[in-house]
Amino acid sequence: MASAGRGGLAETGDRAHRALRGPNPQKAENLRTGRLLAVADPSIVEAGREVAAIGKLYPQKCRVISNALVKESDLKTMLGAYDLVHLSVHGKFTAQEPLLSHLKLEPGDADDGQLTAAEMFGLPLQNTRLVVLLAIGVKAYQNKDLSLSFADQDALKMAAMFKAQEGVLFNRVHAEILTNEQVTREEVIDKLDWMNRQSSQGDVVVLFLSGHGSLSKGNYYFWTHKHDPQVNPERYDVKWSTLIDGLTAVPGTKPILFVDSCRAAAATGARRKGDEGLTEALKDLKQNYQGVFFFAASKDNEDSIEMDSLGHGAFTYSLLDGLKGNADVPPKDQIVYINELGNWVRAQVRKLTGEKQHAVYEEPPEKSGFQPFPIFVLPKR
């Protein structure tokens, strides 16, 4: 018996059961997003019950085929309409030529009923999950008094973490990174447009910001490399609404915003995390952008010094640490969900800073249909 997912991966025997049922049923239920096709070989005693049970997790968006073995040609035609495909059928592994390993389906006029691993790479998987990531970090400012220590590395490390999920949880990870002198108002807006061109319904869209920010005349601005406190921020900096409009422009995506924004104490040169206006920006987010998952380094104008011992601020360090597996709460299932990461970051930032800094995690309201979803799959041990 074999089980196949949207990425064309297959597992056999008991491993397939464990992969689908998982050691943590409560977390498995949170995967109930998207459209499911569940197919069973009726000659396998448990297969019908298995796909029926899985189908109950998707009561409004599921098609179960278990009364007859589906034809290979019919399956290939149907795949493009679904986000998740579960096949409970016989399969054969060919050790000498793995790409000839196959799942056994009903043969048709134009095929042999053997869906090989090689054929899976050419299947019409239009709904394959993607991540589109824009990571921005400004360590070096044109005004050297504003410079930070780790903001560029924050962006680089976050992009690398997500890129490592390509071929694991997500089939593709499209990533663009802007650091230091590259971070101009024009370039940021161009890259937001790039995000929109790359994204489609069902994709995870991520915007990561590390640098300074502040409030001006009621509007929150993220400071670019050329920030000049003596001029109108519209000249060089990027307004909150521009950032969020860019993040949420494509309907049906899962937008995630990470803000490790800093407020410079210009008179002292101190590096202080947390920043003016983020609390007001969060209110705007809740009211006008209810589908966004929002992470921020701190709240209520709290201070947070970049931590040389960690090589990051407490917030980004906690994000990276959580994505490495520490956010996977017991019973551990090697999957980090978005809400697990949020809860981990809030707790860890408080711990690292001795309760001086309180990270923010906000998720969409339940009325919006929000359900936690996986953001990271950990390497098998």
pLDDT in tens, 330-369: 888 788 989 999 999 999 999 999 998 889 899 988 777 7
Q: What is the mean pLDDT of residues 21-30?
A: 41
How high is the pLDDT of residue 356? 86
Q: Smallest Cα–Cα separation from 178: which of 186, 170, 169?
A: 186
Q: What's the helix, strand, coil split of the chain in %, to 5?
A: 30, 25, 40
In the prediction, which pLDDT does 122 show?
63
- CB distance 295 to 262 below 8 Å: no
In contact, 138 and 210? CB cutoff 8 Å:
yes
Cβ-in-10-Å burial (0-12, 13-18, 19+) of 223 comes to: buried
Please work out, in degrees rounded to the nearest 5, the angle formed at the alpha carbon of residue 317 by the alpha carbons of 298 and 206: 75
pLDDT surpassing 80 at residue 381: no
H runs (alpha helix) in the chain: 14-21, 25-29, 47-55, 72-78, 117-120, 151-163, 185-198, 240-247, 278-288, 314-321, 338-352
Amino acid code (one letter) for 240: W
CA angle 189, 303, 321 (to 5 degrees): 70
Res. 14: pLDDT tops 60: no
Using DSSP's 3-state secondary structure scheme, residue 361 falls into: strand
pLDDT at 198: 92
pLDDT exceeds 50 at position 169: yes
What is the spatial distance between Cα 36 and Cα 16, in angstroms, rounded to a whole number?
Answer: 17
Q: Tell me how long the chain is.
A: 381
pTM: 0.69
Which domains, and CATH codes, for the chain? 2-120 (no CATH), 130-377 (3.40.50.1460)
Q: Could you report the per-residue pLDDT of 310-320, keeping only the tens digit for each?
A: 899 899 999 99
- Distance (Å, whole) CA 279 – CA 214: 11
Cβ(107)–Cβ(73) under 8 Å?
A: no
pLDDT higher than threshold 80 for residue 28: no
Provide, rounded to the nearest whole percent, the portion of the chain with pLDDT above 90. Answer: 43
